[in-house]
Amino acid sequence: MSNDPLHGKTLQFIVEQLVSFYGFDTLAELINIKCFKENASVKSSLTFLRKTDWARKKVEDLYVRTLPKINKN
């Protein structure tokens, strides 16, 4: 079994988890990228994040940091 918290998680799953936990407004404050600020949707965010490695890394890092809080709920 992998110790990587991202193992087996799709980008869509990660974004959906973060959106349901934080909402787009807070996500935009935590990660300053346009796809979370303007006309925010999971679909548009995925399109941007799949093309933009640095932004995807920030989202994945936030997910890993948020995981203990998500798991408490």
Tell me: the pLDDT tens digits for 7-35?
999 999 999 999 999 999 999 999 999 99
With b meaning 16 or more CB within 10 Å and e meaning fewer, what string describes 2-33? Answer: eeeeeeeeebeebbeebbebbebeebbebbeb
| pLDDT above 80 (res 38) | yes
CB 9 within 8 A of CB 64: no
Q: Return the percentage of the chain with pLDDT > 90, whole number.
A: 88
